[in-house]
Structures are given as C-alpha cells and as structure tokens.
A and B are shown apart, each in its own frame.
Chain A
Amino acid sequence: MKKFLLSLMCVISGLLFGALILKLSGIPAFEAYNIMWNGAFSKPNYIAYIIIRSTPLILTGLSVAFAFRTGLFNIGSEGQFIMGALTAAYFGFIFHFNPWIQIPLVLGISVMVSSLYGGLAGFMKARFGVHEVISTIMLNWIALYFSNYMVMLEGFHKANTETSEFIQPSTSITFLENWKNSDAGTEWFSHHEFLSEFFRPPVNAGIFIAIIAVLFVWIILTKTSFGFKLKAVGQSLEAARYAGINVNKKMTQSMMIAGGLSGLAGATHVMGVSKNVAILAAHEGYGFDGIAVSLIGSNSPFGAAIAGFFLGALKYSGQKIQSALEAPSEVISIMIGAIIFFIAIPIVFEKLINNFHKLWEKK
C-alpha cells in the first residue's frame, strides 16, 4: 500500500512537471491535459486503442519486473520482443492449421524461442559471469539485425515492400476481424453504436493473454517455492547460495521466464495488430517502455498491469496534443522520465510524508 502511494505521488509529480514544461514553453497546460483526457476516454474506440497499446507494455513491464525480482536487470526485453514477433510472423505465415491448433502452436513456439533467447543472457551470467546488462544490449542488436535479415529472406519477404508476408488468417487473434466488414456485421453494428466504435480498432485477445500472464507471474512469485527461491536470489545472492539454492540455475530460469513474457508481447502484437514484421532502422522501444512500466509499477505484477495501462493511455493521448495545440508530444517522454526520476529518489517523498504527518499531529 505504501509503495502504491509512493508511486502515485511520483506519477502526480511527474504530471505536474509536464504541466510546468508546457507552461514554460508557452503552451496552455490545462488545455493540453484536457485534450489528453478527452482524447483518451471520451470515445469507445479511444479506449479500445489504449487497450491495444497497453497490451505489449504490460507484458514487457512484467518481463522486466520478473527479472528485477531475481536481481537481474533485463534490458534485453527489446530483443526478446523482436524474437517473439519474428517467430510469430514466420510460423504464423508458413503453418496452415485450423485456428484452434494454429494459434496455440504459434504462440507456444514464439514464447519458447524468446525464452531461450532471454535464458541465454541468464546462462552467460551464471556460467561465465558476463553481466546481463551488456549481454542483453548485444542481444538486442543481434535480434534486430537478425529480424531484418529474415524479413528480406526469399519466400518470407513480401515483394516490393519493407515487410514480411502477412500471417495466415488462422493465426489472427483479432476479434471479429472478417465479420466486422461483412454484410451481416455492418448491418448488426449499425444498430449498436458503442460496440461498433469499440471494435473499429484491431481489438484482440492479447489483453486477456496479458492478464493471464499477470496472474501467472503473481502466482509464481507469491504462491510457489520456486518463486520464493527466485526472490531469495534477488534479495541476497550469498544468503541464497548458503541456504542451498542453486543460484546459477535460478538466474537462467528467471531470464527464461522474463524472455518468454517479452516474446509473448511481440507475438500478440504481430498476431493481433501488425500481422507482419517490418525492417527496423532502430529499436521500437517496447522493451525500454517495459522498464518504465516495471519501475512505475514498483516491480510487482499488478503494478505492471496498472502502470502498463497508464503508460499506454499516456502515449496514445499524448499524440493528440500535437495536432490540436502543436505541442510536441515528446512532453510524454519528459513526463515518464520525470516520474521515474522521482521514483529513483523515494527519500524525498518519504520525508514529505513524514513532515506532513508531523504537521497533522501538531494540529
């Protein structure tokens, strides 16, 4: 509870800081926030977009948070996301099963590949003492160029584009994808305005997968001895080793789970939204945003869910001030930076709370 309050205070301070920046740049801050609020929640399709945006962020946030609990800093979420996305796009294209087999199969392979990819960093740390920060930075770039290579591969590359072929319709997890535009669908939606607007964006099963993942991580961390051991390694390596926990194995396992979660983010993104992968000039930032989500959610699974949704809303609505006020939408990055900065200095806020308490008692 105290952690939640602290995070909330940091978020509010970050938003205030953003307002200050806008004000100093001669942009009406109150109006900007108003536009953002309306741009986020005033229409059903806005909410749908936010849910779509949040899904990968919740999953990468979960991935980073999970590794953090074992004392590992998973900067590699970015690369694991790419591996998951690439695997889903590839097998989603070459397999032709019916959806009930195809979807779980493609998801499963994607999670497996990305989990091995994440586990590699954990293994190298455990076996060879290679710091996970440096190995995952390298692995991020390897994933990016490998994905670019695969996209251009004969048979997978979509001619005259910078992208791969689209996945088979049977791989899609988007809701009502074909029905939406069929005669029956158009007819039905014309009588249901709210749902019609809500389902216009590519709403997909990803959010349910993300929620299941949140519960899965919560159960591992709080209800199993495996999770207890992971946390023990995170809190004190030496004490855990002394207690007879196989520390090296736990590091690898932790990174495997973290990798799988990030890969799931990539796979659901491909299967629900993008339907293919494209040549990347630079990292897209899903993994780095995951770090922000994890930190804002104080490294807890439910925290990551809330923070992921918050960040998704912020990123989606932030675009709208650009067109309405010509206010640079990068103010969102500044806000996120400020929030994380405040989270880094909890002492300041704890002092504030204490002083407030004292004042209260004097009265």
Chain B
Amino acid sequence: MKDLIFLFSTTLMYSTPLIFTALGGVLSEKTGIINIGLEGMMTMGAFIASLAALKSGNPWIGLIAGGIGGLTLAILHALASIKYKANQVVSGMAINFLGSGIAIFMCRLFFEGTSMTPPLELDKKIPAFFGQYATVYLAFFLTALVWFVLTKTVLGLRMVSAGEHPKSTDAAGLNVSIYRSIGVLASGFLAGLGGASLSIAIVSNFRPTLISGQGFIAIAALIFGKWRPVQTALACLFFGLSQALVIFLGGRENIQISSQLLSILPYVLTIIVLVGFMGKTTAPSALGE
C-alpha cells in the first residue's frame, strides 16, 4: 500500500509540468499554430518564476511571473507566425534557442555569473496540500477548464474553427488572427507555468538542465492525446508514471534492472502505442498553414 501511494504521488508530481505545457500546446495547435517552442517557453518560465519567487518571497507571485515569462516568448511566436506568416516550425525552433539563451544569460547577470539560482527556502516554495503541491491540483483544474473552454464556450469553438477552417471562419466575419493569437499566448503562459511548477515546487531552484527535453515530451503527449485536453493530460500521466516507475524500481535491492534500460521504457512504449494503436492522426486541418 505504501508503495502504491509512493508510486501514485510520484506520478502526479512528474506529470504536472507536462500537463501544464501540453495543455498550452493543445490551445495553440487547436487554433492552427504549431508550437515547437514549448521547451524554450518552459525554460524561460522556470527561470523567471525562480527569480520572482526569490525576490518577492512569495511563490504565487513567482508562479504568475513564470507564466508571464513564457508569455513574452509566445508574443514573438505569435507575431512571427500570425502577422508575418512565418514558417511556424522555424519560428518555434528560434524560440527554443532564445528561451534557454535568455534564461541562462539573465541568470548569470542576476546571480554573479552562475547558471543556477540559489535554492528557495522550503516555506517559500509552492505549498503542498495532502502531500501534493498546489500546482498538481491546479494542473487538473486547468485540464477541465481547457476542455470546457474548447468544447462549451463561444470563444473556444471559434478558436477551434480558426484551426480547422480558417477561410470559412474569416468569411463568417470573425478575425482569425485574434483567435490564433489567444491560442498562442495562452500556450506561452501555460508552458511558463509548467516550467515554474518545476523550479519552485518540484525542485527549489533553476538550473540549465532542469527542463532538458520536457517541452518536447509535452508535444509528444499532445499528439498522443490526439489534440484533446483530457486525453493529453492522460498521456502526460502516462509519461509521469513511467518516470515514477524508474525511480520506484531503481530504488529496490531485490529487482536487478539497469535503471538506464528502465528509463528507455516510456519512450519505447510510446512508439509501440503510436505504431500499434494510434490509427490515423487527427491534427487540426489547418495546422501549420
């Protein structure tokens, strides 16, 4: 029982940053804009959150600041891909280089040349309730919220139609650019929260290797989840579970599996699932145009 609880809570913990970020990805891609820059936005969010939490002494200010950090990069991505009709993949890659570059650059300026922020005191981190950080609950709340917005509200339906049929949306007198901008900006904010949930909750500081690929895993999760918020969150939980399994099994004396081989498991499973059960992908039809 104790083991199960451990596994369960570790899963939740590792899924959270992915859920925030992947939900952001859903919002952007549903409106038709590929966002491969999530990784950079997460890195930026993680640093800004850590910085703001340190300076203000309030983790909530840190969390919001992290979101805004991601948002600033999203403004660039929106400008390029919506206003200047950029190749969205290229612009997203630029965001990745900019995100990690700016975050570490600023870190060195603020913290005497080091690429790590000093650790937050325990009581200055995001508080935990019932053994889970508040960000975990927030992630699930946001999953429901994104689902609700995209399927039940006028705003969400318009965002989706901007991603599916931009021409007819335009013909219906709606401004496609505005709905797409909302999607991209929201994705930046959420990816920023995702980064923050790492740097000021799961661990207590920012460092260059903190994000290392999680933004890309979030993209994988959203394709896995077929661009639907709830399925995407489940895909994130799957990745979280496999990470938790690595830690869980790695810590046992009686099970002799190389932790390196174990770490491969989630990625192999993902490929198997994609090959075997995925069927035809259902990307928004105007994605990337």
Residue of A128, A140, A339 touching B278 (CB-CB under 8 A): A128
Q: Known interface pairs A333-B101, A340-B90. Does A149 touch B271 (Cβ–Cβ under 8 Å)?
A: no
Residue of A135, A141, A344 touching B80 (CB-CB under 8 A): A344
CB distance from B106 to the nearest CB of A (A): 8
Q: Decide yes or no whether B76 CB sits under 8 A from chain A.
A: yes
Cβ contacts under 8 Å, A331 to chain B: 101, 105
Contact B267 A344 (CB under 8 A): no
Contact A134 B220 (CB under 8 A): yes
Q: Known interface pairs A131-B223, A134-B220. Does A337 touch B264 (Cβ–Cβ under 8 Å)?
A: no
Q: Decide yes or no whether B118 CB sits under 8 A from chain A.
A: no
Q: Which residue of B lies closest to A148 (CB)?
A: B260
Cβ contacts under 8 Å, B36 to chain A: 133
Contact B271 A130 (CB under 8 A): yes
Q: Decide yes or no whether B94 CB sits under 8 A from chain A.
A: yes
A341 to B84, CA, bound (A): 11
Contact B270 A138 (CB under 8 A): yes
Q: Decide yes or no whether A334 CB sits under 8 A from chain B.
A: yes
| In the complex, chain B residues 211-239 whose Cβ is within 8 Å of any chain A Cβ | 212-213, 216-217, 219-220, 223-224
| In the complex, chain B residues 97-111 whose Cβ is within 8 Å of any chain A Cβ | 97-102, 104-105, 108-109
Residue of B100, B224, B267 touching A142 (CB-CB under 8 A): B267
Contact A345 B86 (CB under 8 A): yes
Q: Which residue of B lies closest to A341 (CB)?
A: B94
Contact B94 A337 (CB under 8 A): yes
A25 to B107, CA, bound (A): 12
Q: Known interface pairs A130-B271, A130-B274, A138-B270. Does A345 touch B91 (Cβ–Cβ under 8 Å)?
A: yes
Contact B274 A328 (CB under 8 A): no
Q: Known interface pairs A142-B268, A344-B91. Does A282 touch B212 (Cβ–Cβ under 8 Å)?
A: yes
A343 to B84, CA, bound (A): 11
Contact A347 B85 (CB under 8 A): yes
Q: Which residue of A lies closest to B102 (CB)?
A: A334
Q: Decide yes or no whether B252 CB sits under 8 A from chain A.
A: no
Contact A344 B220 (CB under 8 A): no
Q: Decide yes or no whether A162 CB sits under 8 A from chain B.
A: no
Q: Decide yes or no whether A326 CB sits under 8 A from chain B.
A: yes
Contact A338 B271 (CB under 8 A): no
A28 to B240, CA, bound (A): 45
Residue of B86, B108, B217 touching A344 (CB-CB under 8 A): B86
Q: Which residue of B lies closest to A22 (CB)?
A: B105
Residue of A328, A339, A347 touching B105 (CB-CB under 8 A): A328
Cβ contacts under 8 Å, B209 to chain A: 281-282
CB distance from B267 to the nearest CB of A (A): 4
Contact A334 B90 (CB under 8 A): no
Contact A21 B97 (CB under 8 A): no
Please tell me the number of chain B residues within 8 Å of chain A, measured between CB atoms: 50
Q: Decide yes or no whether A348 CB sits under 8 A from chain B.
A: yes
**Contact bitstring B255-289, A, C-beta under 8 A = 1, else 0:** 00010110110011011001100101100000000
Contact A337 B84 (CB under 8 A): no
Q: Decide yes or no whether A3 CB sits under 8 A from chain B.
A: no
Q: Known interface pairs A133-B219, A137-B216, A337-B95. Does A128 touch B105 (Cβ–Cβ under 8 Å)?
A: no
Cβ contacts under 8 Å, B212 to chain A: 281-283
**Contact bitstring A58-86, B, C-beta under 8 A = 1, else 0:** 00000000000000010100000000000
Interface of B is mostly: helix
Contact A340 B94 (CB under 8 A): yes
For this complex, into which size category does the number of interface residues on chain A fall? 35 or more
Contact A337 B97 (CB under 8 A): yes
Q: Which residue of A lies closest to B87 (CB)?
A: A344
A149 to B258, CA, bound (A): 7
A281 to B213, CA, bound (A): 12
Contact A341 B268 (CB under 8 A): no
A335 to B97, CA, bound (A): 9
Contact A145 B91 (CB under 8 A): no
Contact B275 A283 (CB under 8 A): no
A331 to B280, CA, bound (A): 42
Contact A134 B274 (CB under 8 A): yes
Q: Decide yes or no whether B93 CB sits under 8 A from chain A.
A: yes
Q: Which of A124, A337, A347 has the most CB of B within 10 A?
A: A337
Q: Known interface pairs A130-B278, A295-B93. Does A345 touch B223 (Cβ–Cβ under 8 Å)?
A: no
Contact B219 A336 (CB under 8 A): no
Cβ contacts under 8 Å, B219 to chain A: 133-134, 137
Q: Decide yes or no whether B187 CB sits under 8 A from chain A.
A: no
Q: Decide yes or no whether A238 CB sits under 8 A from chain B.
A: no
Cβ contacts under 8 Å, B102 to chain A: 330, 334, 337
Cβ contacts under 8 Å, B104 to chain A: 328, 330, 333
Q: Decide yes or no whether B96 CB sits under 8 A from chain A.
A: yes
Q: Decide yes or no whether B249 CB sits under 8 A from chain A.
A: no
Cβ contacts under 8 Å, A25 to chain B: 105, 109
A73 to B92, CA, bound (A): 13
Instruction: List the 8 closest pairs (A to B, CB-CB), nearest first.
Output: A333-B101, A337-B97, A337-B98, A341-B94, A328-B108, A340-B94, A149-B260, A334-B101
Q: Knowing that A21-B105, A340-B90 are A-B contacts, what are 17 other residue pairs whose CB atoms are under 8 Å apart, sorted by A's residue number?
A: A124-B275, A130-B274, A134-B274, A138-B270, A140-B213, A141-B213, A141-B264, A149-B258, A283-B212, A288-B96, A330-B104, A333-B100, A333-B101, A333-B105, A334-B98, A337-B96, A340-B94
Give me 10 A-to-B residue pairs in the complex whose CB atoms sit less than 8 angstroms apart, sorted by A's number.
Answer: A130-B271, A131-B281, A138-B268, A141-B264, A142-B268, A146-B261, A149-B264, A333-B97, A337-B97, A348-B84
Interface residues of A (CB under 8 A from B): 21, 25, 73, 75, 124, 128-131, 133-135, 137-142, 145-146, 148-149, 152, 281-283, 288, 291-292, 295, 326, 328, 330-341, 343-345, 347-348
